[in-house]
Amino acid sequence: MRVFVTGATGATGATGVLGRHRVAPDKPSGGAPKTEDDPLDWRSIPQAIRPRVLAMDRVTGADDIRRLLASPDVIVGSVAALTETGSLVAASGSGSQLPGYAGGAARRIWIVGAQKVVPDLSIALRRVEEHCLPLESNRTQAAYGWPSAINHILILNAEPYPERSTVLLLREAIGF
């Protein structure tokens, strides 16, 4: 898994280790991303799945929707916590994004705000329950009329195929 650290003011020039994952600069100082360090080959990103899924009939196309969401070519998302040892913790009410996160997607990209970095897994799970869930419940209550729930939790401890996964760790708070 590649971890790129960046912030509003630009890239870091440092490399190092975050848990079991190599930390690399997201681009050289003052320039465009290097080809060998660029986390994405932008020409190869396929068409977004969401518009196709939203256009499908939920009853007759339920199995096709599930398959599309479970194994996209690329999934971009976030997690509830990132431990200092490198574990990613994703929580979900529906679980729809978790198959792609767990390995169904050919490429996985997580954008993680600095406030989500925690010392260990126990604090990560407490963060999900005490911090993320109340905020997400407020959001889903306003948007859909019902609160959220932690029905599924995925913990990713290591990546056997590092080229498949990228974490963009922002130096600023983003998300819950």
Q: Residue 40's pLDDT is what?
A: 57
Task: Please check whether residue 148 lies inside any domain of the structure.
Answer: yes
Task: Please check whether residue 127 lies inside any domain of the structure.
Answer: yes
Task: Please check whether residue 176 lies inside any domain of the structure.
Answer: no
Distances (CA, A) of 130 to 1, 41, 54, 56, 138: 28, 38, 32, 36, 13
Task: Please check whether residue 83 lies inside any domain of the structure.
Answer: yes
Residue 63: count other Cβ atoms within 10 Å of its Cβ: 8
Distance CA 37, CA 46 (A): 20
Task: Please check whether residue 175 lies inside any domain of the structure.
Answer: no
CB 171 within 8 A of CB 126: no
Per-residue pLDDT of the chain (176 residues; tens, 9 = 90+): 777 776 644 444 333 334 333 333 333 333 344 355 555 555 555 567 778 888 999 999 999 988 888 888 889 999 999 999 999 999 999 998 999 999 999 999 999 999 999 999 999 999 999 999 999 999 999 999 999 999 999 999 988 888 899 999 999 998 88
Task: Please check whether residue 73 lies inside any domain of the structure.
Answer: yes
Number of domains, the chain = 1
State whether the Cα torsion 66-121-114-116 is positive or negative.
Answer: positive
Task: Please check whether residue 108 lies inside any domain of the structure.
Answer: yes
Task: Please check whether residue 159 lies inside any domain of the structure.
Answer: yes
CB 75 within 8 A of CB 105: yes
- pTM above threshold 0.75: no
CB 52 within 8 A of CB 86: no
CB 129 within 8 A of CB 73: no
Q: Which domain holds residue 23?
A: 2-170
Q: Residue 19's pLDDT is what?
A: 38
Q: Residue 24's pLDDT is what?
A: 34
CB 82 within 8 A of CB 169: yes
The residues pairing with 101 across neighbouring beta strands, listed in sequence order, are none
